């Protein structure tokens, strides 16, 4: 038993990222603390309450020119927004756009921060670190692994494409980056599962970098997200179907819509969107959110005991 414990410790040490000067220069210089002024609060809390009692958060540089991404719930009620830069200066931030379905928002400041490279989709168990202004104490780094990919239907947001991690995340970290061992952006911290207390229990979620880029691009260009219409309405499989199939049942197709034109019918069971497997209805919604109007999307369905593939042309 002792040898097994030593082996597990050795494996954990081999996998764990090793933050240091290089990590600081690549990652911490790209992250800011968000200090919103909320109704009924002094900015940054009041003198007699613990740090973090008034809502604070985090934001991550996402595009050159001072563009930052954060979680919308950090700034949704803010009367004004200030951010603390990596060098300690506090500067005003402009709210460029918000997207309630994904709980993402874009801010802009008069400071050009370094932007992290995007990470490729990580493997399960891959080491990651979370950076955030946890409980309003200032930026800190916690590390863990990727616990799951493409989480959807958790109940936090209408549209979800979450990377799940056990890296410790607490209130105030929302909007901070989840990065891999090379300091590349895996996702943006968004939500934590808790019981009765607002404290970390090792089930934490970051919006995937693919979803973040999709939303941020539209918010900067248009001030809103322009979403593609698949023409599909789907539902989870009935209990008796789950012994035979895995996917999401097509309940209806919009007359003249992309799905109908491609040949998909009510009663089909969607098993893949692109290369992404579908296990439940929320997976279909999540997968289509990564595409833009005008894209062509391969959809695989189960029909009559066989799989068939169709290509949807998403309308402009």
Helix (H, G, I), strand (E, B) or coil at 217: helix
Two tokens, residue 93: 């931030």
Which of helix, strand or coil describes residue 230? Answer: coil
As a whole number of angstroms, the distance between CA 248 and CA 264 comes to 13
Tokens 């996998």, residue? 15
Strand partners, 208: 187
107, two tokens: 């801010």
Nearest to 241 by CA among 282, 273, 281: 281
Q: Are strands 140-151 and 162-165 parallel, antiparallel or unpaired?
A: antiparallel
What are the two backbone dihedrals, phi and then psi, of residue 296, each rounded to the nearest 5 degrees? -110, 130
Rg (CA), the chain: 21
CA–CA separation, 121 vs 148, rounded Å?
A: 11
Instruction: Please list the active-site residues.
Output: 73, 103, 174
Class of residue 196 by CB neighbours under 10 A (exposed 0-12, middle 13-18, buried 19+): exposed
- Which residue in the block uniquely carries the two structure tokens 């493997």? 123
Nearest residue to 267 (alpha-carbon basis) of 297, 245, 291 = 245
Q: Three-class SS of residue 225?
A: coil
């Amino acid at each position: 038993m002792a040898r097994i414990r030593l082996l597990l410790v050795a494996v954990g040490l081999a996998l764990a990222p090793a933050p240091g000067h290089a990590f600081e220069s690549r990652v911490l210089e790209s992250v800011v603390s968000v200090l919103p002024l909320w109704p009924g609060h002094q900015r940054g809390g009041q003198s007699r309450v613990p740090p973090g009692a008034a809502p604070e958060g985090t934001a991550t540089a996402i595009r050159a020119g001072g563009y930052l991404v954060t979680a919308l719930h950090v700034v949704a009620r803010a009367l004004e927004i200030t951010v603390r830069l990596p060098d300690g200066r506090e500067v005003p931030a402009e709210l460029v756009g918000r997207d309630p379905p994904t709980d993402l928002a874009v801010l802009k400041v008069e400071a050009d921060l370094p932007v992290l490279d995007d990470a490729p989709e990580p493997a399960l168990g891959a080491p990651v670190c979370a950076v955030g202004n946890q409980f309003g104490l200032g930026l800190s780094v916690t590390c863990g692994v990727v616990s799951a990919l493409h989480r959807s239907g958790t109940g936090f947001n209408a549209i979800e494409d979450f990377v799940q991690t056990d890296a410790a995340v607490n209130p105030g970290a929302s909007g901070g980056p989840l990065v891999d061992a090379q300091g590349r952006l895996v996702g943006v911290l968004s939500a934590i599962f808790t019981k009765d207390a607002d404290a970390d229990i090792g089930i934490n979620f970051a919006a995937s970098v693919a979803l973040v880029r999709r939303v941020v691009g539209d918010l900067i260009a248009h001030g809103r997200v322009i979403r593609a219409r698949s023409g599909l309405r789907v539902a989870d499989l009935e209990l008796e179907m789950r012994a035979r199939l895995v996917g999401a049942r097509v309940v209806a197709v919009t007359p003249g819509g992309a799905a109908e034109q491609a040949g998909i019918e009510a009663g089909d069971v969607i098993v893949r969107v692109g290369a992404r497997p579908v296990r439940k209805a929320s997976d279909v919604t999540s997968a289509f959110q990564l595409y833009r109007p005008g894209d062509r999307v391969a959809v695989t369905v189960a029909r009559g005991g066989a799989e068939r593939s169709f290509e949807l042309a998403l309308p402009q």
